[in-house]
Amino acid sequence: MTVHTTPVEASLPTLDLSRFHASPEERQAFVGELRSVLHDHGFFYLTGHGVDPKLIEDVVATAKRFFSLPLEEKLKIEMVKSPHFRGYNRAGQERTRGEQDWREQLDINTEDAPAEIGPDTPAWRRLQGPNQWPEALPELKPLLLAYQAEVTRIGIDVLKAIAAALGQPENVFADIYQPQPSQLLKIIRYPGRDVAETDQGVGAHKDGGFVTVLLQDTAPGLRVRTEDGVWIDAPPVPGTFVINTGELLELATNGFVRADVHDVIAPPAGVERFSVAFFLGSRPDATIPVIELPEDLKRAERGISVDPLNPIFREVGQNQLKSRLRSHPDVARAHYAELLASEPGH
Ligand SMILES: O=C(O)CCC(=O)C(=O)O
Ligand SMILES: [Fe+2]
């Protein structure tokens, strides 16, 4: 009798960031492993990141309390009130490639005053501004800002390791993230399939920036599409973040670094899924450079796969605004109506 075993599912690799700060030999080995991960997946689990587990626990617990506030409290800070795309979105408000996503979320970014806007100021300057915070949960603000600072530190550390993996000086990207990178942070709740109107938690997409630092609570749902079109699950692993590289790095390396397509399927009936996603991006007034890779890496460049439905611009601010306008049509109509007649982002 032949015994058929189920094929072992491919899973994402795990890298330990503390090795980047260890002995020169260890660091070199780490950077070498990172190089093949970046080329094969663009997705991995990160350990050794040094974030206080208590901070993570508090952020997740407080995010859950935010979502359980009465709807009217959450709607006081609805995103549509903010020209800077900050605030709360009900499930079904957001879109990926035109299809409704089924998740509620609170978006923040760098806490800042609005930019001064003159007649010639590019529209993306209006992305800068203050966040909206819930009056009914004052502890959320200091916690999320502390967490945002921590994941920014990790993101920049990972970016330095990526630079080293590409045979570049560690600070090769510093010119386009200093003095102030984009720091989009979302706390997210995916309701179960009994209440969701679709099983699309978030539709298939690539992230736009340098790297994403994703914290998943306990429910699975994240899936990653590999180069050969196979979808693999990326379930939560306690103590880790999922790191994935974004389109900016794909563009800067002529496709040597992968920005993998991923999605989230809505949890089963009766289960909710929580996550906290942080997107490290460059300064909005930057232009994405082309990094000259060493010969051996250059040979493995894939080139850029252009999605005609979702063009990407080398001008970062224009890109950031384009993706916000597409994801949040209600905010676009309320604050950027003059841009919608022409092509979004221009
Ligand atoms: O919620 C997650 O686990 C991932 C979300 C995601 O991919 C995104 O917001 O870009
Ligand atoms: Fe994503």
- Of the pLDDT bands very low, low, confident and very high (cuts 50, 70, 90), residue 93 is confident
Place of tokens 């806007």: 117
pLDDT over 50 (residue 210): yes
| Dihedral angle computed from the Cα positions of residues 203, 208, 210 and 216, in that order, rounded to the nearest 10 degrees | -20
Residues 201 and 222: their CA atoms lie apart, in Å, by 9
% of the chain at pLDDT higher than 70? 94
In sequence order, which ranges of 220-311 are alpha helices (DSSP H)? 247-252, 295-298
Q: Helix or strand or coil: residue 89?
A: strand
Q: Ligand 1 within 6 A of 262 CB?
A: yes
Place of tokens 């050794």: 48
Give the mean pLDDT of 213-237. Answer: 94
Residue nearest to atom 10 of ligand 1 (CA): 207
* 159, 173 contact by CB (below 8 A): yes
Q: What pLDDT is recorded for position 196? A: 76
| Contact partners, residue 87, CB within 8 Å, separation at least 6 | 77, 78, 79, 80, 81, 106, 107, 131, 132
Which is it for strands 182-190 and 222-225: parallel, antiparallel or unpaired?
A: unpaired
Each residue's pLDDT tens digit, 104-145: 999 999 999 999 999 999 999 999 999 999 999 999 999 999
Q: What pLDDT is recorded for position 16? A: 98
Q: What pLDDT is recorded for position 291? A: 94
Each residue's pLDDT tens digit, 240-298: 999 999 999 999 999 999 999 999 999 999 999 999 999 999 999 999 999 999 999 99
Q: Ligand 1 test: best mutation among 200, 217, 275, 324, most atoms within 8 Å of CB?
A: 275
Q: Ligand 1 within 6 A of 166 CB?
A: no
Which is it for strands 241-245 and 262-265: parallel, antiparallel or unpaired?
A: unpaired
- Compute the mean pLDDT over every residue in the chain, rounded to the nearest whole number: 92
Q: What pLDDT is recorded for position 309? A: 63
Judge if pTM exceeds 0.80.
Answer: yes
Residue nearest to atom 7 of ligand 1 (CA): 263
CATH number of 14-340: 2.60.120.330
pLDDT over 50 (residue 8): no
Q: Ligand 1 within 6 A of 264 CB?
A: yes
Distance 200 CA to ligand 1 centre (A): 12
Give the position, in ligand 1's atom list, of the atom nearest the Cα of 279: 10
Secondary structure E strands in 86-209: 87-89, 95-96, 99-100, 104-108, 182-190, 200-205
Structure tokens at 344: 């979004």
Q: Ligand 1 test: best mutation among 184, 210, 214, most atoms within 8 Å of CB?
A: 214
Distance 112 CA to ligand 2 centre (A): 24
Angle of the 24-40 helix axis to the 140-165 helix axis, nearest 10:
100
Residue nearest to atom 1 of ligand 1 (CA): 275
Q: What are phi and psi of 259, to 5 degrees?
A: -110, 95
% of the chain at pLDDT higher than 90? 84
Q: What pLDDT is recorded for position 342? A: 60
Q: Ligand 1 within 6 A of 247 CB?
A: no
Q: What pLDDT is recorded for position 313? A: 78
Give the position, in ligand 1's atom list, of the atom nearest the Cα of 263: 7
* Domain segments of the chain as ranges: 14-340
Q: What pLDDT is recorded for position 310? A: 67
User: SS3 for 219-241, per residue?
Assistant: CCCEEEECCCCCEEECCCCCCCE
